A and B are shown apart, each in its own frame.
Chain A
Amino acid sequence: MTAGSLGAPTRLSARDRARRADRGGASARSVPGPLLVPAVIAVAFLVLPLAGLVIRAPWGRIGAALSGADAVQALVLSLWTATAATGICLVIGVPLAWVLARTTFPGQRLLRALVTLPLVLPPVVGGVALLLAFGRAGFIGRYLNSWFGLTIPFTPLAVVMAETFVAMPFLVITVEGALRSADQGFEEAAATLGASRMTVFRRVTVPLIAPSLGAGAVLCWARALGEFGATITFAGSFPGQTETMPIAVYYALEDDPDAAIALSLVLLVVSVIVLVSLRDRWLRGGAVQ
Chain B
Amino acid sequence: MTDGEGEGGLAVDATVRRGGFALTIALKVPPGQVLGLLGPNGAGKTTLLRALAGLTPVAEGRITLGGQVLDDATAGTFVDATRRPTGYLFQDYRLFPHLSVAENVAFSPRARGLGKAVARSAARHWLGRLGLTDLAGRKPAELSGGQAQRVALARALAGEPALLLLDEPLAALDARTRLDVQSELRQHLADFAGPCVLVTHDPLEALVLADRLVVLEDGRIVQDGTPAQVARQPATEYVAKLVGLNLYAGRADDAAVALSAGGSFVVPQHGQHGDVLVAVRPSAIVVSSEQPHATSARNVWPAVVTGLTMLADRVRLDLDGEPSALADVTAAAVTELSLTPGSQVWLSVKATDLEVYNHEQDG
Contact = CB atoms under 8 A, between A and B. Distances in A.
A189 B97 CA distance: 12
A203 B107 CA distance: 9
Given A186-B96, A203-B107, A208-B98, A193 B90 contact: no
Interface in B128-159: 155-156, 159
Contacts of B156: 193
Interface string B81-108: 1111011101010101111000000011
Nearest to B90: A189
Most buried by A among B54, B84, B92, B107: B107
Nearest to B97: A208
A192 B51 CA distance: 12
A132 interface: no
B111 A196 contact: yes
A185 B107 contact: no
B48 to A, nearest CB: 15
Nearest to A189: B94
Contacts of A192: 53-55, 81, 84, 86-88
B97 A193 contact: no
Most buried by B among A191, A196, A197: A191
B209 to A, nearest CB: 21
B90 A191 contact: no
Interface string B21-53: 000000000000000000000000000000001
Given A188-B55, A208-B97, A193 B92 contact: no
A207 interface: yes
B112 interface: yes
A208 B53 CA distance: 23
Interface in A174-214: 185-186, 188-197, 199, 203-204, 207-208, 210
Interface residues of B, number: 25
Most buried by B among A192, A199, A204: A192
Most buried by B among A193, A195, A208, A210: A193
B95 to A, nearest CB: 8
Nearest to A199: B111
Contacts of A186: 94, 96
Interface string B55-83: 10000000000000000000000001111
Contacts of A193: 107-108, 111-112, 155-156, 159
Contacts of B80: 191
A189 B88 contact: yes
B82 A196 contact: yes
B224 to A, nearest CB: 26
A185 B92 contact: yes
B96 A204 contact: yes
Contacts of B92: 185
A253 to B, nearest CB: 48
Nearest to B49: A192
Nearest to B113: A194
Contacts of B53: 192
Contact of A185 (B84, B94, B98): B94
User: Sorted from nearest, which 9 A-B pairs have the closest CB atoms?
Assistant: A195-B111, A189-B94, A193-B108, A192-B88, A194-B112, A194-B111, A191-B81, A207-B98, A185-B94
Interface of A: 185-186, 188-197, 199, 203-204, 207-208, 210
Interface of B: 53-55, 80-84, 86-88, 90, 92, 94, 96-99, 107-108, 111-112, 155-156, 159
29 contacts: A185-B90, A185-B92, A186-B94, A188-B81, A188-B94, A189-B94, A189-B96, A190-B96, A191-B80, A191-B81, A191-B82, A192-B55, A192-B84, A192-B86, A192-B87, A192-B88, A193-B107, A193-B156, A194-B82, A194-B108, A194-B112, A195-B107, A196-B82, A199-B111, A203-B111, A204-B96, A207-B99, A208-B96, A208-B97
